[in-house]
């Protein structure tokens, strides 16, 4: 799958699917996400993800906008999923482009 690309001023759409050990979609206790820039600096602290409508196990976050001061490159995001006492993580990435390079 191709890495999604965004320009400064745009808001990345981050989405995760949460499965149990048997591969069924589940509703965990919480799903939170944070974003790191290409140099590893946290650009967005842990924020809660929202369930997509009534779809079990599907969560998104679209509450962080790439600032004009953010550097171009590959940004990593990590979703921290808590279900009772079990904590798992899912990772993803997106690219912030320089203007004129998309």
CATH number at residue 22: 2.60.40.1930
The answer to whether residue 102 sits within a structural domain is no
Total structural domains within the chain: 1
The answer to whether residue 79 sits within a structural domain is yes
DSSP-assigned beta bridge partners for residue 70 = none
Provide the CA 15 distance to its chain's centre, in angstroms. 6
The answer to whether residue 26 sits within a structural domain is yes
Chain segment 27-37, per-residue pLDDT in tens: 999 999 999 99
DSSP-assigned beta bridge partners for residue 46 = none
pLDDT of 15: 96
Which domain covers residue 66, as residue numbers? 4-97
Q: Are 12 and 62 in contact (CB under 8 A)?
A: yes
Chain segment 26-68, per-residue pLDDT in tens: 999 999 999 999 999 999 999 999 999 999 999 999 999 999 9
In sign, the C-alpha dihedral spanning 72, 38, 63, 102 is positive
What is d(CA 16, CA 95) in angstroms, rounded to the nearest whole number? Answer: 18
Reported pTM: 0.89
The answer to whether residue 58 sits within a structural domain is yes
């Amino acid at each position: 799958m191709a890495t999604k690309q965004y320009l400064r001023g745009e808001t990345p759409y981050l989405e995760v699917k949460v499965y149990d050990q048997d591969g069924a979609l589940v509703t965990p206790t919480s799903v939170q996400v944070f974003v790191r820039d290409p140099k590893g600096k946290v650009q967005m602290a842990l924020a809660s993800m929202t369930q997509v409508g009534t779809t079990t196990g599907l969560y998104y976050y679209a509450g962080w906008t790439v600032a004009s001061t953010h550097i171009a490159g590959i940004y990593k995001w990590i979703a921290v999923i808590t279900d009772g006492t079990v904590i798992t993580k899912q990772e993803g990435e997106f690219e912030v482009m320089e203007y004129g390079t998309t």
